[in-house]
Chain A
Amino acid sequence: MLKTFSLGGIHPAGNKLSASSAIQVLPIPEIVSIPISQHIGAPATPVVKKNDEVKVGQLIAKSSGFVSANIHSSVSGTVFKVDDIMDSSGFRRTAIIIKVDGDEWLETIDRSETLVTEISASKEEIIAKIAEAGIVGLGGATFPAHVKLSVPPGKTAEVLIINAVECEPYLTSDHRVMLEKGDEVLVGTQILMKALGVNKAIIGIENNKPDAIAHLTKLAVNYQGIEICPLKTQYPQGGEKQLISATIKREIPSGALPIEVGAVVQNVGSAFAVYEAVQKNKPLFERIATITGKSLKNPSNWRFRIGTPVKDLIDAAGGLPEDTGKIIGGGPMMGKALTTVEVPLTKGSSGLLLLPREEALRKESKPCIRCGKCVSACPMGLEPFLLMVLADKKEYERLENNAVMDCMECGSCSFTCPANRPLLDYIRMGKGKVGQIMRSRK
């Protein structure tokens, strides 16, 4: 029996259309818009101004707190302006806009393809380098990586878990990274192990990627302490709590962090970025994303410079299909619908999904028939049907007592509901309000 997480879960169609398409390099655009807030935490502070010359990899906005991240230029050229633009969240936020001129990298970056397996940096140097490179969780949550690696006093890390689950349907960028950059991922994993001072790492991969499991298992014999753990395909296994439950059978208590059970989780894409940052001195200014959709001419995976417009990625894959009804940044379960294709791709852009119109339309919502399927599907053991009613009735105290804040918004309830009820919409609303109330109490 393959391992999986303890409660709930659903089985959406995989639709991994781009799984066999090798990573290509997206041409550098003429102009990039690099938002200063691409991570969870405080926005970075710009350190460049209009008309400054910048090189590829140069720091352009500085981390402004413990939970924050550096931002580097992804191109060489001239800063055109620092201004508010619409980003993928739909809000206007500050970005550094750079006119591209050539492709001149900082000399400190090692651009060779040689694999460097020898880890010379010390524990502290590694964490400093990861912070310096502006690495954030590349699975989509974009939590600054160095924060997770700084284990709080009194806690000890026992095991590093690499999230290579990619449980979102359609997305294949992690899959391609494992196939094409397997050794780099494993070295990156060892670097992370050293940073945490653990001698054990588990890479969790769902068994819908047998080639990646086989490839990494073969490579892993050369790397001490790394175990490849095949998992039964089930959404939302990529959730941090679910992945820990699946791989080491420990459940994080409500409101606690993974370190509570001795685990630290990093995304497989982050492991690759860590390799490049520590071994090649390369900051995070490019990443790999999937562009996909059933009507798209060429679903594929691309390495792009951060700040490239979404439109360029769509054009590279054959252009926006006629029947597009929704443009989703991320996967179909937790991704965000974009309002326009002019927004820039960022550190958190793991993929772009173009959903045909008829699939994008929601069906009419019917009365709840109390089938309990949402309860069975909920990976957190909540009662979505009840939370929806309570949110609708503004019963915030009861919402809190029914653990609404444990909801991670995976959408399994709405996905499952036979009456097409917008469960998560209401729960999200309730969470927002309960969160506000809880903060005001402090």
Chain B
Amino acid sequence: MNSKVLVAPSPHVHGGDSIQKNMYGVVFAMLPALVFSFVYFGMGAIIVTLTAVASCYLFEFLISKYLLKKVPTLNDGSALITGILLAFNVPANLPIWIILIGALVAIGIGKMTFGGLGNNVFNPALVGRVFLLISFPVQMTSWPKPLGFNTAYLDAETGATPLAIIKEGLKKGEPLSQLMHDIPSNMDLFMGNMGGSMGEIAGVALLLGLLYMLFKKIISWHIPLTILGTVAIFSGILHMANPEAYAGPLFHILTGGLLLGAIFMATDYVTSPMSHKGMIIYGIGIGLLTVIIRVFGAYPEGVSFAILIMNAFVPLINVYVKPKRFGEKRK
């Protein structure tokens, strides 16, 4: 008799899913958007991405090893995602030293102060991004023009984003129909031919990523689709009420990183609700806040703030929104 058999409680088999598979799956889903950013912004995009990723890894390693005094777990892929997302959220002409600060805030304050992966309340990349936006408003809002592949980095020619053009114009009292002439066509917006942060420009690439993640069951449809649906409905109502003051739903969806936020930022496992019902509430919240900030707030863009605000509600949502239990009467 083989005396070395194992005895353990069921289940005796595992599905084979792992943290790495999910994390690298997300990275793979971000590749189309990454390629688009390289194509439109050239050398600057490559420098910014490499710096962001390398510094996220470096800070995670240093903080785990010397401050938390535990074995750094760099191979789980989460630092890579934070790095790429941070790069996606900044202009392609951002100086290296600012990126380093962003990475330190994202990893250090956004993630490691809470105890590392799985414990943070706010999306780390967004924490870094918003910190930079508030601290370096000039550098963070001078967006390079998508001139196609070129070697320009800090000296890149800059322009405003579509949302900023509208916001400024409306403030001056210009009618929306007039302002729309300064804005790229919807097709250009969809293909990413506009000013903006590295990752937000190409709707088509982001949607490819979404399809991949849904197909691979890395995320479920609940968060991205409720965000997009809410934005479409809310901005649609405003647009119908006064087409000269409020832009239409398609414009809102294709601009200002809404797709990036809905697909890659709001769906972050750690900082989003656990149940499908909770995800829908969270998604509606992000959608409403995004439009409110964009239309009525001081900033032209609202996705980052909307996600961070809803991140803060996630623990509350998890406590009060329970999944539908089996056998419970459907309301």
Chain A residues engaging chain B, CB cutoff 8 angstroms = 6-7, 10, 12, 90, 169, 241, 245, 251-254, 256, 320, 324-328, 332-342, 353, 355, 357, 359-363, 366-373, 375-376, 378-383, 385-386, 402-403, 406, 409, 411, 414-420, 424-425, 428
CB distance from B85 to the nearest CB of A (A): 16
A417-B17 CB under 8 A given contacts A327-B5, A371-B269: yes
Q: Across the interface, do B327 and A332 meet the contact criterion of CB distance under 8 Å?
A: no
Which residues of A have CB within 8 Å of B22?
A: 369, 371, 418
Q: Would you give 7 A-B contacts (Cβ < 8 Å), ordered by A? A: A252-B327, A334-B11, A335-B12, A353-B12, A372-B272, A409-B10, A420-B18
Q: Across the interface, do A380 and B325 meet the contact criterion of CB distance under 8 Å?
A: yes
Task: Determine the residue in chain B with the shortest Cβ distance to A251.
Answer: B327
Q: Across the interface, do A414 and B11 meet the contact criterion of CB distance under 8 Å?
A: yes
A367-B5 CB under 8 A given contacts A7-B326, A251-B326, A381-B324: no
A375-B118 CB under 8 A given contacts A6-B326, A333-B10, A415-B11: no
Which residues of B have CB within 8 Å of A327?
A: 5
CB distance from B16 to the nearest CB of A (A): 9
Which residues of B have CB within 8 Å of A362?
A: 8, 14
Main secondary structure of the interface of B (DSSP, over half): loop
CB distance from A341 to the nearest CB of B (A): 6
Which residues of B have CB within 8 Å of A375?
A: 274-276, 323
Contact of A320 among B2, B14, B327 (CB under 8 A): B2
Contact of A337 among B12, B18, B21, B269 (CB under 8 A): B12
Residue B13 CB within 8 A of the other chain:
yes
Q: Across the interface, do A359 and B13 meet the contact criterion of CB distance under 8 Å?
A: yes
Give Cα distance in the complex from A169 to B10, angstroms: 13
Give Cα distance in the complex from A320 to B9, angstroms: 21
Task: Determine the residue in chain A with the shortest Cβ distance to B3.
Answer: A340
Q: Across the interface, do B9 and A428 meet the contact criterion of CB distance under 8 Å?
A: yes
Q: Across the interface, do B2 and A420 meet the contact criterion of CB distance under 8 Å?
A: no
A332-B328 CB under 8 A given contacts A337-B7, A418-B21: no
Give Cα distance in the complex from A342 to B272, angstroms: 50
Give Cα distance in the complex from A26 to B43, angstroms: 73
A332-B11 CB under 8 A given contacts A339-B5, A369-B270, A385-B274: yes
A326-B12 CB under 8 A given contacts A253-B327, A372-B274: yes
CB distance from A293 to the nearest CB of B (A): 11
CB distance from B306 to the nearest CB of A (A): 20
Give Cα distance in the complex from A236 to B182, angstroms: 58
Q: Across the interface, do A256 and B17 meet the contact criterion of CB distance under 8 Å?
A: no
Q: Across the interface, do A332 and B17 meet the contact criterion of CB distance under 8 Å?
A: no
A375, A378, A386, A428: residue with the most chain B Cβ atoms closer than 10 Å:
A375
Main secondary structure of the interface of A (DSSP, over half): loop
Which residues of A have CB within 8 Å of B272?
A: 370, 372
Q: Across the interface, do A419 and B12 meet the contact criterion of CB distance under 8 Å?
A: no
Task: Determine the residue in chain B with the shortest Cβ distance to A341.
Answer: B1
Q: Across the interface, do B9 and A254 meet the contact criterion of CB distance under 8 Å?
A: no
Q: Across the interface, do B323 and A326 meet the contact criterion of CB distance under 8 Å?
A: no
Q: Across the interface, do A419 and B15 meet the contact criterion of CB distance under 8 Å?
A: no
Q: Across the interface, do A254 and B325 meet the contact criterion of CB distance under 8 Å?
A: yes
Q: What 4 A-B pairs have minimum CB-CB distances, sorted nearest first?
A: A411-B11, A372-B274, A381-B325, A371-B269
Task: Determine the residue in chain A with the shortest Cβ distance to B21.
Answer: A418
CB distance from B21 to the nearest CB of A (A): 7
Contact of A324 among B2, B116, B275, B324 (CB under 8 A): B2
Give Cα distance in the complex from A369 to B25, angstroms: 15
Residue B240 CB within 8 A of the other chain:
no
Q: Across the interface, do A361 and B6 meet the contact criterion of CB distance under 8 Å?
A: yes
Which residues of A have CB within 8 Å of B318?
A: 386
Size category of the binding interface on chain B: 35 or more
B12-42: CB near A (< 8 Å → 1, else 0) gives 1111011101100000000000000000000
CB distance from A17 to the nearest CB of B (A): 14
Give Cα distance in the complex from A427 to B317, angstroms: 22
Residue B50 CB within 8 A of the other chain:
no
Task: Determine the residue in chain A with the shortest Cβ distance to B270.
Answer: A370
A335-B10 CB under 8 A given contacts A254-B325, A324-B2, A375-B323: yes
Give Cα distance in the complex from A8 to B118, angstroms: 23
Q: Across the interface, do A415 and B5 meet the contact criterion of CB distance under 8 Å?
A: no
Which residues of B have CB within 8 Å of A256?
A: 327
Residue B139 CB within 8 A of the other chain:
no
Q: Across the interface, do B325 and A418 meet the contact criterion of CB distance under 8 Å?
A: no
Q: Across the interface, do B269 and A370 meet the contact criterion of CB distance under 8 Å?
A: yes
Give Cα distance in the complex from A376 to B17, angstroms: 14
Give Cα distance in the complex from A337 to B118, angstroms: 32
Residue B220 CB within 8 A of the other chain:
yes
Task: Determine the residue in chain A with the shortest Cβ distance to B78.
Answer: A369
A333-B11 CB under 8 A given contacts A361-B6, A381-B324, A383-B322: yes
B229-243: CB near A (< 8 Å → 1, else 0) gives 000000000000000
Q: Across the interface, do A406 and B325 meet the contact criterion of CB distance under 8 Å?
A: yes
Q: Across the interface, do B9 and A363 meet the contact criterion of CB distance under 8 Å?
A: no
Which residues of A have CB within 8 Å of B269?
A: 369-372
Residue B108 CB within 8 A of the other chain:
no
A380-B5 CB under 8 A given contacts A335-B10, A370-B118: no
Task: Determine the residue in chain B with the shortest Cβ distance to A412.
Answer: B11
Residue B192 CB within 8 A of the other chain:
no
Give Cα distance in the complex from A295 to B76, angstroms: 32
Which residues of B have CB within 8 Å of A6?
A: 326
Which residues of B have CB within 8 Å of A428?
A: 9
Which residues of B have CB within 8 Å of A252?
A: 327
Q: Across the interface, do A376 and B118 meet the contact criterion of CB distance under 8 Å?
A: no
Which residues of A have CB within 8 Å of B328?
A: 251, 253-254, 381
Which residues of A have CB within 8 Å of B324?
A: 7, 381
Residue B261 CB within 8 A of the other chain:
no
A332-B274 CB under 8 A given contacts A241-B326, A254-B325: no
Give Cα distance in the complex from A375 to B276, angstroms: 9
A254-B327 CB under 8 A given contacts A360-B12, A367-B117, A411-B10: yes
Q: Across the interface, do A416 and B17 meet the contact criterion of CB distance under 8 Å?
A: yes
CB distance from A381 to the nearest CB of B (A): 4
**Known pairs A419-B19, A420-B14. 9 more at Cβ < 8 A?**
A10-B15, A326-B5, A326-B8, A332-B11, A370-B274, A371-B22, A371-B269, A409-B10, A418-B21
Task: Determine the residue in chain A with the shortest Cβ distance to B12.
Answer: A332
Q: Across the interface, do A424 and B9 meet the contact criterion of CB distance under 8 Å?
A: yes
CB distance from B264 to the nearest CB of A (A): 15
Which residues of A have CB within 8 Å of B14?
A: 362-363, 414-415, 417, 420
Give Cα distance in the complex from A371 to B269, angstroms: 5
Give Cα distance in the complex from A256 to B327, angstroms: 9
**In chain B between 75 and 96, which residues have their CB closer than 8 angstroms to a CB of chain A?**
76
B21, B322, B324: residue with the most chain A Cβ atoms closer than 10 Å:
B322
Q: Across the interface, do A355 and B12 meet the contact criterion of CB distance under 8 Å?
A: yes
B21, B322, B327: residue with the most chain A Cβ atoms closer than 10 Å:
B327
CB distance from B119 to the nearest CB of A (A): 7
CB distance from A421 to the nearest CB of B (A): 10
Q: Across the interface, do B15 and A376 meet the contact criterion of CB distance under 8 Å?
A: no
Residue B273 CB within 8 A of the other chain:
yes
